[in-house]
A and B are shown apart, each in its own frame.
Chain A
Amino acid sequence: MTWLLANLETILLAIFGVSALVGGVLVVMLRQPMRVAMALISTMIFLGGIYGLLGVHFIAAFQVLIYVGAVMVFMVYVIMLLDPRDPATRRRFSGLVIPGVAVAAVVAGLLIRGVAADAGTGAAAAGAARGFSLAEFASAFLNKYWLHFELTSVLLLAAVVAAIAVIRANREDHG
């Protein structure tokens, strides 16, 4: 029991990590778009749990608020709007299964090599994870990176204008 409590953080991290990975596999494997959306939502919530365990609670909150609360709800609405008898939902994979898996395996292999090379050096093991405070994040966000923060508002404005333009172009096509 004491062992369990002493290693609780590691155990929870492992459970959340494995669950997120299972959700990711289900996103690729499931046939119905709605089930894919549910698998992706579970992956995002487990990732939010990992962020919470790492101590970055504000990112955990925004992961759930923005990804699950906004992006995925939007996605679920669109899935419900569309025709469930669409032939695209009957056949899961396109003709690119073998090259797709090969490309993903090559990318994963290259990334694994990079991480393993870093894990092999002693420098990585020297310092434990340090973490950072919300105050440090806030001052970096609004002092050092204020320009990027302002540029995101321009990006969002461009996105709104583009969304309206896409809809209006379609209206003019159909009278």
Chain B
Amino acid sequence: MDKTHALLYLALALFALGLCGVIIRRNLLVMLMSMELMLNGVNLSLVAFADRMGSAEGAVLVFLIFVVAAAEIAIAIPIVLLLAKSRRTLDADAFADLRG
């Protein structure tokens, strides 16, 4: 197994772990952090592909993902704080009445 494939296996393991965390965890903040883990897995795969192909496109996409992650966290954190303030808990089940 060469370097690129080992990195791709690591990337997909991180992505799957993050997906698992988003679904099974109860705390909203931990779910957010699991989403960050998924983003990191995708970033690793992009860097591995860019390194393999010798082209900078993958690295450009990684930079754009950095910006999107920062914007996402800037929106998500105020929403989480407001949710914690209104229900006094971050338990995802406490917000079950939000389902459509």
Q: Which residues of A contact B (CB under 8 A)?
A: 10, 13, 17, 20-21, 24-25, 27-28, 33, 36-37, 40, 43-44, 47, 50-51, 54-56, 59, 62-63, 66-67, 70-72, 74-75, 78-79, 81-83, 86-89, 91-97, 99-101, 103-105, 107-108, 111-112, 115, 118-119, 124-125, 127-132, 136-137, 139-141, 145, 148-149, 152, 155-156, 158-160, 162-163, 166-167, 170
Contacts and interface: CB of A to CB of B under 8 A. Distances in A.
B82 A24 contact: no
Nearest to B79: A166
A55 B51 contact: yes
Q: Is the interface of A mostly helix, strand, loop or mixed?
A: helix
A132 B17 contact: no
A40 B33 contact: yes
Contacts of B82: 166, 170
B40 A163 contact: no
Contact of B73 (A75, A83, A108): A75
Contact of B20 (A54, A100, A137): A100
Q: Is the interface of B mostly helix, strand, loop or mixed?
A: helix
A43 B33 CA distance: 12
Interface in B3-21: 3-10, 12-21
Interface residues of B, number: 76
B74 interface: yes
B19 A20 contact: no
Contact of A132 (B5, B59, B75, B80): B59
Contacts of A70: 70
Contacts of B100: none
Contacts of B53: 130
Given A28-B24, A59-B47, A96-B23, A40 B37 contact: yes
Given A88-B26, A93-B26, 17 more contacts: A21-B14, A33-B33, A40-B36, A43-B37, A51-B47, A54-B51, A59-B59, A71-B70, A88-B28, A88-B90, A88-B91, A92-B26, A94-B92, A100-B20, A103-B19, A107-B15, A129-B4
B4 A27 contact: no
